[in-house]
Structure formats: C-alpha cells, structure tokens
Amino acid sequence: MSTASHLLYLVSAVAFVVGLHLMGSPATARRGNLVSTGGMVLAVVVTAVVLVDDGSIGGTALLVLVAGLAVGSAAGLVTARRVRMTAMPQLVSLFNAVGGGGAALVAFAEVLRAEGVLDRAGVSLVLPTVLDVLIGALTFSGSLVAAGKLAGRLPGNPVTSAAGRVATLALGGAAVVAGLVLLTGRGGTPLLVLLAAAALALGVLLTLPIGGADMPVVISLLNACTGTAVAMAGFVLDSVVLVIAGALVGAAGAILTLLMAEAMNRSLTSILIGGYGTADTAEAVAATGNVRATSVDDAGLQLAYASKVVVVPGYGLAAAQAQHELVALCSALEASGIEVSYGIHPVAGRMPGHMNVLLAEADVPYPQLRDLEEVNPEFARTDVVLVVGANDVTNPAARRPGNPVSGMPILDVDRARSVIVIKRSMGTGYAGIDNELYTDPRTTMLFADAKAGLRELLTAVQTYAR
C-alpha cells in the first residue's frame, strides 16, 4: 500500500475523531455526522482503489464490489429518509446488527481465504478472530431481537424461563471452551463455525429476557459491541483505520451505556439479567386517589395565563408525530411573553437522545432543551408543566422503595403549581405500574391524541392570549 493511501486513511481516522467530538453537542451534531460520513466515504473509496491497484480484486469480483457499494448506499439512503421518528430506535438496532454481522463475516472471509490460517497463526491473529466472530455474531442476533421488541414484532416484556437460563449458561461455556481450543491452534474452521452458532444463539437468549424499559441501555450496549467487533476485524485485516473507527464506536457506546444505566439508577448487571417491570420485581402498590379530567378550554386558559411553562415530552409525542404541533403551541405561548422550556429525561423515548432528536427536527432552539439535573430545580418556580406522552420518567413512585421504578431519577414535575398531562388513556408505561402523578391534586388529565390535543390547545391559547 502506497504512502498516499496511508495518509488518506489517516485523514479518515481524523475525520472520525473530529466528527465524534462534534456529536457531543446538539448544536454541532449535524456537522459532526457529516464529517464522520465524509471520513467513511473516503476510507471506502481508498480501500476499493487499493484492492484494484494491487490486483486483489478484478473482473467479476470488481463488478460485485461496485454493485454492493451501490445497493448498500441506496438502501441506507432510502431507509434513513423514509423511517418514521418512532421507528428510529429499531433502525439503529438494525444498523448495529449489520455492523456486527459484517465484522464477523470479515473474519470468516479472511479465514477461508487463507485455508488453515487458524492452525498456523499465532495468538495475535487467532485472538482477534475469535473475539470478532463471538462479539459480531452475538451482536447480530441480539440486535435483531432488540429491533423486533421495539417494533412490536416480539413481546416487549421480558421473556424468561429456567430452560432459557440453563441454555444460556451452557452456550456461554461452550463458546469459552471453543475459543480456548482455537487459541491453542486446534479446531480450525469447523470449530469457528460452532463458535459463531453458539454466539448467535446467545444473542437471542441474552436479549429476550430484557424488558422494553431497558431498551435505551441495550441499544447503547449493542452499539458498543458492534464497534468492538469492527475493531477486532481491523486487527484481523491489519487495517489501522478499521481499528480506529471500531474503537471510537465501541468506546462511545460503552460510555453512553454507563451514563444511561446511571440515569436509570440501575446497574448494568441488573439490566442484563432482565425482568424489569415483571413479576421478578417487587409488586407495585396501585396509585390511590381521584383522577381529574380537564377540557381543552380549561387547559388553554391555564397555559395562556401562566408566566413560566415547562414541557415534558415522552414517547407518546413521538408516536403521534406531534412535535411540530407542540412547537407551534410553545411559539404561541412565547409570543404572549410566557417563558417556555423543555424538560428532557435521558431515557425518555426508546433510545438515548430520542426526545432531543425529535424536537430538533421541529427546530426547537437548543438552549430551551434542559436536561434532568438542569430543569428539576426549576419546577418549584413553574406555573404549569405540560406533560405530553411521558409516563415512567415522571412517576413520583420512584422516590419510594417497593416498585419497579424505585430509585430511578425522575423529572420532579409534581413540584410545579399545576400539571397538565396529555394522554390518550390511563395506560401504564414500560414499567407496567400506575403513575402516581395522575392522582396528584395538582394534576389534570387532558385525554386526547397528542397531535389533535395540541392543535386544540393552540386554538384555545390563541383565544385567551393576553
């Protein structure tokens, strides 16, 4: 490989680092995504040119390469443009599956290309190959299960059984034994195939017991696994740029996983064990008290005569595709001189940053997006909190023991002077328990679809505007 190729790979690696840094802030995230995309395009083009120049690929194989690039690029572009915001989490899971599965196939392709390489190679090659196949295959199947849960094609509740736990332990032990045997220089390709099969089964068995409430953390964890598998593929191929790209994704995913688990006040171990919101947890005490329904006119009057309003969005807002209606309502409030901000819980929605992305799509100014630590002290000075589709992240039950959300940091909306909740019904959230906020004397329920309810609220606010 020429010096120019090495330099271009270095440029790609720098683009990945700079892009990841820019993604750390909502204000520069779009630019960071573009920078990282540019780095990846450069890396793919350089790799294709190198393969053609050194004679590694040509003829029919070259046509297959070009066709693969064209089909993959078109599929990614069309899917990303057509995906609904509510389906974004499962799309991320599918991307994780593609990354993990692709990394595992790279290791297999390299082993098959050089027949008997595992028997002749040292630990420096066999170890990353084993880790690549193990992590990549596990991530592939686990991400598909996570996508199925998020899309409603698989049960969102934890699926647990004694037989499943035994099978998980047995397959985990078999995978470890197979990896150790491969490291001794024995077993070869057939044992690598068995390792991959065990990893695929483990991905399914490890993800099924995890409930929907923990999916934001699981998505981050699988993303970290995808990056690790890609880094291992880089070691197998002796590709520095692949190692750097995989390491960055793996490290970012791991950090985000820990932050998300901390935001839920749950250990990663308890999340992986599963059972959130099921009979495996302590039985929750039903919320007591009366639920007070309100009308659009009454809610609009409260908002129109408030001085400070905080909006708390949740998955119900995304499901109704009502972010633009919400922003229109908030703009009308601001035009009347009312202070408006948005309280964002880190695990609201179905993936990390779901609410931030949703509201950014509707052009909400970044300074108005306030995280949990920043907005909680403001609720005591807030006239009206408007909760749109958020459930577990506002449940005061989290402040006491004995229920599935105990200990989870919440948005302290019940400390405001008044709370209006827009919700279609009294259905529970992921945790499967009643929200005690709904029976609070200061809370009124506006039962409506989020999009229709927000439109009617806008009309009412404009009527009562001062």
Residues with catalytic function: 392
d(CA 242, CA 9): 9
How many whole angstroms from its chain centre is CA 329?
Answer: 28
User: What are the backbone angles phi and psi of residue 122, rounded to the nearest 5°?
Assistant: -90, 180
Element spanning 32, H or E: helix 29-53
Structure tokens at 394: 């506002």
List for the chain the helix, strand, coil content (%; round to 5).
65, 5, 30
Cα–Cα distance list, 183 to 117, 123, 125, 250, 288 (Å): 12, 6, 9, 24, 60
Placement of tokens 């009979």 in the chain: 279
Cα 416 to its chain centre, rounded Å, is 30
Burial 125-149 (b: 16+ CB within 10 A, else e): bbbbbbbbbbbbbbbbbbbbbbbbb
Q: Which has the closest alpha carbon to 330: 306, 350, 355?
A: 306
Q: In what order do the strands lie in the sheet with 443-447?
A: 369-371, 339-344, 308-313, 384-388, 418-423, 443-447
Residue 102's closest CA among 125, 72, 77? 72
| Greatest Cα pair distance in the chain | 81
Q: Chain-centre distance of CA 165, in angstroms?
A: 26
The beta-strand segments (E) located in 390-453 are 418-423, 443-447
Could you give the angle at the alpha carbon of 199 between the alpha carbons of 197 and 200, nearest 5°? 65
Q: How many CB atoms sit inside 10 A of residue 75's CB?
A: 11
Q: Please report which helix (H) or strand (E) contains residue 384, including its range.
A: strand 384-388
> Would you tell me how many other CB atoms lie within 10 Å of the CB of residue 78?
10
Pairing assessment for the beta strands 369-371 and 339-344 based on DSSP bridges: parallel
